[in-house]
Copies of this chain bind each other. A is one copy, B any other.
Amino acid sequence: MDSMALHDEIDSFFDSAPPLKDAAKITDNLKKFIESNFPVSGEGKGRRVVCVTSGGTTVPLEQRCVRYIDNFSSGNRGAASTEYFIKAGYAVIFLYRRGTCQPYCRSLPDDPLLECFEFADELDVQVRKPYSEAVKGAIRNHHAAVSSGLLLKLPFTTIFEYLQMLRIIAISMRSLGPQAMFYLAAAVSDFYVPWKSMAEHKIQSASGPLDMRLMQVPKMLSVLRMEWTPMAFCISFKLETDSKILLEKASIALKKYKMHSVVANELLTRKEEVTVVTTDQNILVQRDKTRVDSDVEDPLIGLLVDKHSTYIKESST
C-alpha cells in the first residue's frame, strides 16, 4: 500500500471513531509525568521513558455495545515487563486493558480481595498467612512506583480508545528524542467494524446464521515510528500459534514497520522463551530454568535496555 492510501485509511479510522473521553485530562497527566521525569531545565538529562502497552483491545460489533470481538491477553507480559523497566531505572507509561494483570500483582489469585484477607478480630482485616508476602509486596511496590512518579497507568477497552491514546502518548513523548521507547506488547485487533457502519441496536438472532464483514485496522506502527515520534526506540511483538511461520512474520514486520526489534513469541511457550528479531540477528531469550519463579521478561528487558543504550549513543554522534 502506498503512503497516501495508508494516511487516508488512518484519517478515516480516526474520523469515524467515537471521541475519546477525558482526552484533555490524559494529555495533561502525560505532560506532568514526562516533565517530572525529563525536566526541560535539565539540559536534556533525564530518565528514559518507556510506553508499555498491555492486554487486548476490543472491537465493538454494535454502537450500544452488547457484543464485541476481543483479543486474548492476560496482560501478564506487559505487567512483568513494567516491573523490570522500573527496576532498570525507566519511567513507565503503562497503557493497559481495563481488568488485566497489573504490575506487582502477578502472583496473586484471580480475586485477591476475597481470597487473601480475613478478619483478625471484630474490627480489623488481615492478610491470610499463605498470601502474606505476595499481597504486602504488591501493595508496597505498586505504591512506591506510583508515588515516586515512575509509573503512570492509563486504561483502555476498545481499539478506538487504544489507538487514540497511543497517538496522544507518542506525540507527548516526541520531546524525549532517543530517550523514548515504545514496547508494544498489547494484542491489537487486526479487524474492526467502522463505527459509522455499525448496527445501532443489538443484532437480532432470529433468523439463521450471522454473516459479518470486518475491515482491516490500518497499520499504525509505521506512522508511530516515522511521524508521531520519529526518534523513539520502537519494539513491537508478533504472536503466532504456528511456530513454522513465526520468525518469518516477525522479520517481515520488522522491515515493514521499521521497528528496531520485534519480539517473536509463540502462544504455548511464550512464558518460557521469546526471540528478539533485529536486522542483523535473531536472539533467543529464555527464562532462567534453574529458578521456579524466574521470568523471561527479566533477561528480555535486560537485552532491550542494552540495545536502547547503544541506540541513544549512536543517535548522539
A contacts, CB < 8 Å to B: 58, 61-62, 64-72, 98-99, 102, 105, 108, 110-114, 116-119, 124-127, 135-136, 138-140, 142-143, 187, 189-191, 200-202, 205, 208-216, 239-242, 267-268
Contacts and interface: CB of A to CB of B under 8 A. Distances in A.
What are the 6 closest A-B residue pairs judged by CB atoms, nearest first?
A190-B205, A64-B241, A210-B214, A201-B242, A112-B113, A201-B241
A66 B73 CA distance: 8
A213 B210 contact: yes
A209 B201 contact: no
A70 B267 CA distance: 20
A135 to B, nearest CB: 7
- SS of A interface (majority): mixed
A110 B139 contact: no
B105 A113 contact: yes
A237 to B, nearest CB: 12
A62 B135 contact: no
B72 A70 contact: no
Nearest to A249: B204
Contacts of A202: 239-242, 267
